[in-house]
Amino acid sequence: MTLPVPDYITAIEPYVTGKPIEALEREYGIRDSIKLASNENPLGPSPKAVQALQNALQEIHRYPDGAGWRLTHRLAEHLGVAPEGIVLGNGSDEIIAMLARMCLQPGDEVILPRPSFLMYEICVRCAGSRPVFVDLKGLGMDLAEMGRRITRRTRLVFICNPNNPTGAMTPRKDFEAFMDDLPDGVVAAVDEAYFEFVRSPDYPDSIAQVKAGRPVVTLRTFSKAYGLAGLRIGYGVTTPEIAALLHRVRQPFNANLMAQIGACAALEDSEFLESTRRITHEGLDYLYGALDEIGVRYSPTQANFFLIDVGRDAGEVFEALLRKGVIVRSMAAYGYPTHIRVNAGKPRENERFIQALKAVLE
């Protein structure tokens, strides 16, 4: 059967998600598995969000507020920005897709770090545009080279900070220098999905660029630090002018009722957010120390995940860990054939991972 599908669509490699726990246990006949592959919150969801969702269950026959008034105003107050500059999304992934629909035509160019979040490339290719890849410098983005690669055809630049999958952070000085030189007509999309976990005082303030009227869209999510990954709720912070254009390509009711309610409640749960940061940072420090003891190399992170060099085929280690009921992520597809990516979990999960890794490597 022949379908009228453009070549640039059929050439896209589908995004591969992490293996769900239920799939692993079904396929391998294993029980009591742990998942440290998708950078999820080990504490689960915000308790305040859960309570708010339970209270709202009788309302799910209603359409959500298409404008997301309550959540956008709550976010605007939380961030000190105009509510007209907030755009909600079905995860921050959807904001990426909106940016591609808003900015791109076939033949346009987009500057992408490599490796980074794969949805940037997928959304760019969906628009028939050309991704221009700039390799990382070490594990971090080479913003100077990304700036040099901008041409008259460039419409978008994606900056992932901290970068996924490496966990490296772009420092303030480099970011501000890049923004100072950004040409007119180019939008900078700054993906800050993991900014809540950053420990460095040198983290740049992308929202300050928004407040200064620069063509910046800061992408954030409730999936990680707030534990609402299953609700799929993210947001973009930008100028009212750019937000108005994004709303033109946004699907109606894209942020569902329960997602909006859960996100509003989670924003009020500062105690849960601090607990998440604490257990994440303690977990990372434990994992660093345990890996030092067994002589396995790793890359320190500013996110809630990090790269581990297992010194052999990452796919084989990934499969061996699966058989021990431990789900991690192989980085072979990202250009790191001997690395796995692991997010910090609860203490028991971190200890089990180390025990399983030692057994596999021995």
Q: What is the pLDDT along the chain (362 residues), one digit of tens a residue?
A: 678 888 888 888 887 777 777 886 787 777 888 999 999 999 999 999 999 999 999 999 999 999 999 999 999 999 999 999 999 999 999 999 999 999 999 999 999 999 999 999 999 999 999 999 999 999 999 999 999 999 999 999 999 999 999 999 999 999 999 999 999 999 999 999 999 999 999 999 999 999 999 999 999 999 999 999 999 999 999 999 999 999 999 999 999 999 999 999 999 999 999 999 999 999 999 999 999 999 999 999 999 999 999 999 999 999 999 999 999 999 998 999 999 999 999 999 999 999 999 999 98
Which residues contact residue 331 at a Cβ distance below 8 angstroms, ignoring those fewer than 6 apart? 165, 307, 314, 337, 339, 340, 341
Give the angle subtended at the CA of 111 by the CAs of 110 and 117, to the nearest 5°: 100
Measured distance CA(92)–CA(110) in Å, rounded: 18
Q: Are residues 87 and 279 in contact, defined by beta-carbon separation less than 8 angstroms?
A: no
Residue 313 vs residues 139, 320, 331: alpha-carbon distances, Å? 20, 11, 10
- Please state the φ and ψ torsions of residue 46, each to the nearest 5 degrees: -60, 125
Q: Where are the alpha helices (DSSP H) in 3-91?
A: 7-10, 21-28, 47-55, 69-79
Residue 90 vs residues 71, 219, 254: alpha-carbon distances, Å? 13, 12, 6
Rg (CA), the chain: 21
Question: In sequence order, what DSSP letters do the residues of 201-255 get, joined into one string?
Answer: TT---HHHHHHTT-SEEEEEESSSTTS-GGG--EEEE--HHHHHHHHHHSPTT-S
Domains of the chain: 7-45+271-361 (3.90.1150.10), 62-268 (3.40.640.10)
- Tell me which amino acid residue 124 is: V
Q: Where are the beta strands (DSSP E) in the chain?
A: 34-35, 86-89, 109-114, 130-135, 154-160, 187-191, 216-221, 234-237, 297-299, 305-309, 326-327, 329-330, 339-343
Please, which residues bridge with residue 104 across strands? none
Which pair of structure tokens corresponds to residue 342? Answer: 């692991």
Quote the pTM value: 0.94
Measured distance CA(225)–CA(140) in Å, rounded: 22
**Residue showing tokens 């749960």:** 269
